[in-house]
Every structure is written in C-alpha cells, then in structure tokens.
A and B are shown apart, each in its own frame.
Chain A
Amino acid sequence: MRPLDLTEKKGKRVRIFFEGRELEGYEGEKLTVSLLANGIYWLTTSTEGRKRGAFTFGPVPMVVNGVKNVDARKTKVQDGMKVERQVYGEFQEEPVGNYSGSVKEVVVDVAVIGGGPAGLGATLELQDSLMIALIEEKGWLGGDLWIRGVEVEGFGDPKRAVGDLVDKLNENVKVFLGSSALGVFEKGEYFLIPVVKSNELIEILAKRVVLATGAVESIMLFENNDMPGVFRRDFALEVMNVWEVAPGWNVAVTGSRAEEVIEELERWGIDYVHIPNVKRVEGEEKVEKVVDMNGNEYKVDALVFADGRRPDINPITQAGGRLFFRRGYFRPVIDQQHRIKHGIYVAGSAVSIKPPYANYIEGRLVGAYILKEFGFESEPCVYEEKLKEYEPEALQIPKIPFDKFNLEDVQICGCDVSLKKVDDVVRRGITDLQIIKRLTHLAMGFCQGRYCLFNGAVVVAQRTGKKLSEIDLPVARSPIKNVRMGVLARR
C-alpha cells in the first residue's frame, strides 16, 4: 500500500516517475490522485512563484512525458509515465494534441447538462418518451452524491443509490462522460450545445435544455489558502470515497459545513482536528501547520475546508438567465415551470441548495414539465408537492477579518490575485465588479470567476456597506469551460 492509500488497490499496477522518482500508480487512476497516494502534494507553481497542489482552486499544468501544459486533473496514469513540475506560463511550442477527426453531430429532444441527482432525475422522467443526451464533465454519474460515503436522507447508501438510478437509464439516453459543455447557443428552432470529450468536438442539437449544472464549493479566505495540502470539500470527499486515498492521516477541518467532512473522516478512521477559525496554514512544500485566530498552532498534514456550496451561476448567465440574491447566494430567476427562458430549464443545486434527494425530485419535476410541453402525460404537481417539503438551505455570508489577516498571503482567485489586490482597489472607491475585474484580473482566469467572484462581491459589500443583493455580477461568456483552441479549429 502507498503511504496514503485507504484500501489495498485491486487494479493493475503501473510505474510512474515524478521528478525522476519511481512511484506506484493504478490503471484508471487520475495523475493527481496517484501522486497524492504517494504523499506528493506540490505539483505546480503559479506565475508569481506560489506552490500549488491539485485540490483547491487554480489550474494544475504539469509536464507529462516531456509535454508541457498538460492538465494533471484530467490525465490518467499510464505505465512508464514521466511527470515533472512546471510554472504556469510554460507551454508547448510544438503542439502535440491530436485534433484530427471531424465534428460529430448528435440530434436529441432534450440535452441534460450535468449528471448529478437532478440530471439523472430529469433524464429518468423523460427517457420513456424522448431522446436524451446526458452530458457530465466528471468521469462518473451521480454528481455530489457519488463522492459521499455516509448515508443520505431519501437515498440511503449514496453509492448504491447512484448505481440504482444509473441502472434504470434506457437506450433512449446517450451518456457523454468526461465531457464539458462549452455553453448553450440558441438557434431559433433548437439549441446548440458544443461538447468537448478529450479532444473530440461534439455538437449536440436539442429542442430543450436542462441545466442540472450543480453548485460549486465556497472558497474560504485565510492565509496561504492556495498552498498544496489544502483541500476543498468536494476534492477531499472525492479522493476518499471515489479513489480511496486519504487527504492525510492527520487532517484539520474547518468551515460551516465541517461536520459533513468529519463524518467521512470518522468513517475512514482518519485522525482530525476541528478548527473553527483558521487564520493561516504554513509549510515548506505542503501544509504542515495550521494557526487559528487565537494563535493556537496545530501540526497537521492537510486542511479540508467546507463552507457550503453555492449554485454555479456561469452556465445560467451564459445561457441568458438572470440572477437574484437570496439566502446567502445568487440564484437563477425562474418562471413557474423552472425555466430561465423559453426552452431552458434548471434543476437541482443550480437552483438552490438542498439535499440530493430534493435535487433529484426537482430533476423529475422539470422532466415532467418538458413531457407536458411535448404533449405527453405527466404529473408535475406530484413532484411539486414533494419538493415543497424541502426548504432551501441558507448560507452565512462570510465576514472577512481584514484587520487580522496579512492580506497579501490570502488568495482570492487561483491566478495570483491576492485579497490585498482586490481590497486596495475597493478602498480606492472602485466598487463595480466589472472594473475590479479589469484592474485586478479577478475572475479573468481559468475558472471564469466560479471560485472567486462571490468573494469579490463580499469584499465590496463588506467595505462599502452595500447589500449583496445590490451588487451586479458580471455574466459568464462562452466557452463556459476552458477548451484547447485546436479542438475548435477543425474544418
């Protein structure tokens, strides 16, 4: 077993070489996970020289078999693979990507973007009557449910529940795994959803669209929050429950949703310390120590933060939806049938934060609305009633302790944007996020603001006394997911 393996792996063993050192991996494993299992956290270095790992915000470009700028999160290990660190800006002067092959076209009735409980719910509701494309960026279906280990209300064992739902999918459903939708483009009679699967370009034409695009983790602000060994809740759960690798053996946990992580750590027998108010993490190549607001120090080998999820607003605004602020987060404005506009439905945690089972019901609900639109019999009111049993969760708006932080060490965005850079601009009197974006580069990097725009708005609100509901968020532009130019260059 490797240093951080939680279980003995049964897959085929492969040898990989990291910075010349021979390590053990298993076929099918993601590169970032194999390295973690071997105790390697520091994988890449930002433009300004900050060490970075793979499990919080920011990209992870690495040199793989001599090829620079490979996304380590999307790379699976192979026998003999040679891996090295690089600095962000390094790239391949001689392109190596294989962009041959023509563009594939797929025509369906409904495109469901997102394969979590809501996407599965919508698909299952629709599949007996209509043709569906189910598009999921991850390598698995089940979304946030699939990364959980402990029992979930309404579903019981999460893995078994996902298995049961997936087993029910029929031949009317085309499933696209590991596939990123670049946006939704209205074409009058239909919608065009370009999808990228490795380097393949697939154009999905659909009469209706369901955005079951989920929520993203809130990024907590503390000093060195970008360093290797810091885990976002979803990444921590993924390494434990999907790959059976520990984030560390002695883990600090923080955030308003810390219990969700603690339950999972206890299930795996991983030692942890709960630190409610983290000020700073420190270490040479990875987290070695956490300091809290009272100056207490804790020796740990990783820190997991879980501070609640907020709807991913990017797919919504790119598709033409509008937002409003309620219960601590920005949400899509929807009509009585859960549409952001004609033909485009939203379901799940893209709409509001609630348990996976409620998201599943909401998926079934929009499926029922669509069936009605197509003239089939359906009973949306049954799901409507059920959904009413779930009050959407409220999230606390974070209070940033500006005077207690060394603001330069707190990263607000994965692209070398410190809290200080943003705060300086706001304190100069600039409170329009469009201008703040321009002056600081906030939300202009790889994540298009997914993980930083909300915190940017919080800075403005806190410094000016403006309400978050009065702050306009810049809208997302296509492509809503990064795509290599060669993929789109086909003729």
Chain B
Amino acid sequence: MLPERAEIVVIGGGIVGVTIAHELARRGEDVVVLEKRFIGSGSTFRCGTGIRQQFNDEANVKVMKRSVELWKKYSEEYNFSFEQTGYLFLLYDDKEVEEFKRNIKIQNKFGVPTRLITPEEAKEIVPLLDISEVIAASWNPTDGKADPFASTTAFALKAKEYGAKLLEYTEVKGFIIEDGEIKGIKTNRGVIKTGIVVNATNAWAKLINAMAGIKVHIPIEPYKHQAVITQPIKRGTIRPMIISFKYGHAYLTQTSHGGIIGGVGYEIGPTYDLTPTYEFLREVSYYFTKIIPALKDLLILRTWAGYYAKTPDSNPAIGKINELSDYYIAAGFSGHGFMMAPAVAEMVADLITKGKTDLPVDWYDPYRFERGELRSTALQMG
C-alpha cells in the first residue's frame, strides 16, 4: 500500500535515488522512493561497473574522491563487492600525454594518487595489452569497479532497515501544487502527501520536471549507448578498467563472473529506443581487438543498450529549484552517475537537512544552463 504521506519523496529507484534515500534514512528522515519498475531497473541495470576519480576539474575530482571513500566504507559494511583494481588510460601521442599531465596535476592536488606510467608498466598491470602504439598511460590504483545491480540492492536493503520505504511498480503521474508549494504526488497507486521531492530519474528527468511545471531550462536528453559481454574467461585476467580514447573512446574490463564487459563512444540519439545495433557490434569488436588482440578469439555472448542522460557539458544538474518549494534535482549524469551516487547522496541529503554541503555542489548548479555558464566538459567514457 502507498503510505498516506512522507516527509521526503525521491522519484526514481536507480542507484542515485536509492543512495539518496539511504543517506536520508540513515539521518533519521522519513523518506519514500517511488520507482515505476523495480529497484535498479533503469540505466543502473545496464551500466558498465566503473568507478573512477580521474576527472579533469576540481569539483569532480573532489566529489569522486569522497565517493570512493564511501564506496569503500559501504562495500565493507554492507558486504557487496567493490574492487579497487584501478583505471588505466592508454595514451598514444604527445598531445594526449600533455592533457593527461594537466589532469593528473589537478587529481594529485586534491589527493587522488594518479601517476603517468610507461607502456611496460601498463603491460605489467594487464599482460594481454597491445602496447605497440602506446607511449604512456595514466594510472590510478584506487579507482575500481562494483556490480551496479548488487550494490544498488545492498543500499536498498539498508535504506529499508533505516526505515525508508521503497515502492516498486509505482509510477509518478503528476504533482499536487498549491501556491508554489508541493502538497503531494499523484501515482498510478494513489496520492502520497509530501512537501519535499527529489527528482532522481536521470533519463526521464525532463518528464518529471514538466509534471512539476519547472520553467527553468535544464537540458537533459536520453542517448542510446551500448555495451557488450564476451564469454567468461579466467578471473583476474583483466583487472582494471582500460580506457582508450584513440580507439573509439573504448572502455573495457572483466566482470566478477569472468566476462569482458565494455563499450565505445558510439552514440545514438536523443532517443528512448534501446535496441542494440549491428554497427555497434562491428565498432566495439574493431576497437576492443586493437587494444587487446586476445579478444579476437573470444565469443561475444550478448549486447545491450542503456541511456546516458546527457547535459551539454556532461555534468549533472544537482541542486534545489527555487521556484517550487521544496523541489530538488539530481539528474543528467552523462554516463558516470553510478560512480558518483554515494557522494551525490551525501550532497543532496546535506542540502535537504542542512541547507548546505561541504562538497562543491555549485559546479552542478541546475541554473547554469539558463545562465549560459557551461562547465568544462566532464571526462565522459564510452
């Protein structure tokens, strides 16, 4: 049954919505999550596992440093797998090396221990790598990977233990608003009274904004990105996430089950269509086998697609919308929302409970698009 009222309603039961609810419930807040399908069913379900701190600006580096601390803490406390197997960016020319030297400087300044390493060192980390064209690599051993569905489920379970209510198959249909104040939310299962709402629906964020009558221009569009998985091979064969911008903006790693998982930059959209394409199969095969030739002989088992909820600068919109009290948004993660979620949850919970946060949330200001103040584009994979 739908509860009659809740202090705070989070719309969206993906990793972001669930970690926000978890953080709020931990702090003793009365919170309900409304999810139209099942917990973790959207982009979280289709996500590529990666967690990295190697960004190219202060805010994202700081946020991701905090996020990794939280990934570590909660994976240990809640017993789900988060492996710090590192992120390895392969670099092929001087221009790339210069750019990454700048990035590494920012990362080091805020305590992320990234190093520029030689091709031979990279090959020691991943012996199957073809380093014939690689001239250097950016390596941070504290980045890692986690199973998106398993970790979302673990956060959901704990959120419930802290008293949060997670309602599945409950779809938001509209808002009840009086004099610029939220009074309740209409769902397919009835109305829930509330005063505080968080829009954590990522690819569907603009639909929820429209239902709430938000006039602020927050451009978030769904793009189709695809992923592939191969037959399982011996565990531990490819430990870090490997990135190659030269070869199709490819990212790949090995899952805990043994399959090689990953994708490339091939982007289609804006669209809500999720059918995998033949063109992706060809591209991902070409690029992956350039990076790791051994993949040529491995069987592709499946491809699938999910959304990147993209903004013009590849940074999310996180913050309070002032025209409607109390409406918050945490959406538009542009392909790296899974890794950010624990820190985003902390920021949003801080904003709701304290009105401020120590993390640099202004970087993700939802009003920046309208003001024409786009950020430097966040490093986006795939």
Q: Which residues of A contact B (CB under 8 A)?
A: 47, 59, 69, 88-97, 99, 182-183, 185, 192, 194, 320, 415, 432, 434-435, 438-439, 441, 444-446, 448, 477-479, 482-491
Contacts and interface: CB of A to CB of B under 8 A. Distances in A.
B149 A486 contact: no
B258 A89 contact: yes
Given A92-B294, A93-B294, A478-B303, A438 B149 contact: yes
Contacts of B304: 477
A488 B258 contact: no
A183 B279 CA distance: 12
B288 interface: yes
A482 B293 contact: no
A89 B288 contact: no
Given A320-B275, A446-B299, 15 more contacts: A59-B231, A69-B297, A93-B294, A95-B293, A99-B296, A192-B278, A434-B45, A438-B45, A477-B304, A478-B278, A482-B300, A482-B301, A485-B297, A486-B296, A486-B297
A91 B296 contact: no
A489 B235 contact: no
Contacts of A194: 278, 281
B298 A448 contact: no
Interface in B270-294: 275-278, 281-282, 285-286, 288-289, 293-294
A485 B278 contact: no
Contacts of B275: 320
Contacts, number: 115
B41 A485 contact: no
A484 B128 contact: no
Contacts of A441: 257
Contacts of B282: 488-489
Contacts of B38: 432, 434-435
25 contacts: A47-B258, A69-B298, A89-B233, A91-B233, A91-B234, A95-B296, A95-B297, A185-B277, A432-B38, A434-B45, A439-B149, A448-B302, A477-B302, A477-B304, A478-B276, A484-B296, A484-B297, A484-B300, A485-B285, A486-B295, A487-B285, A488-B300, A489-B282, A489-B289, A489-B296
Contacts of A96: 297
Contacts of A490: 286
B295 A485 contact: yes
Given A438-B149, A485-B295, A485-B300, A182 B258 contact: no
B167 to A, nearest CB: 15
B301 A485 contact: no
B143 to A, nearest CB: 24
Contacts of B45: 434, 438
A343 to B, nearest CB: 16
Contact of B285 (A91, A94, A488): A488
Nearest to B297: A95
Given A89-B258, A489-B289, A483 B300 contact: yes
B303 A479 contact: yes
A441 B281 CA distance: 22
Contacts of B295: 95, 485-486
Given A94-B294, A446-B299, A486 B285 contact: yes
A445 B301 contact: yes
Contacts of B299: 446, 482-485
A485 B235 contact: no
A489 B285 contact: yes
Contact of B232 (A47, A93, A94, A438): A47
A485 B296 contact: yes
A460 to B, nearest CB: 14
Given A183-B278, A485-B288, A89 B298 contact: no
Q: Which of A91, A445, A484, A485 has the most CB of B within 10 A?
A: A485
Contacts of B233: 89-91
A115 B286 CA distance: 31
Contacts of B289: 485-486, 489
A142 to B, nearest CB: 27
A486 to B, nearest CB: 3
Cβ-closest 8 pairs across A and B: A486-B296, A488-B285, A482-B299, A95-B296, A489-B285, A95-B297, A489-B289, A89-B234
Nearest to A441: B257
A485 B293 CA distance: 10
A484 B293 CA distance: 12
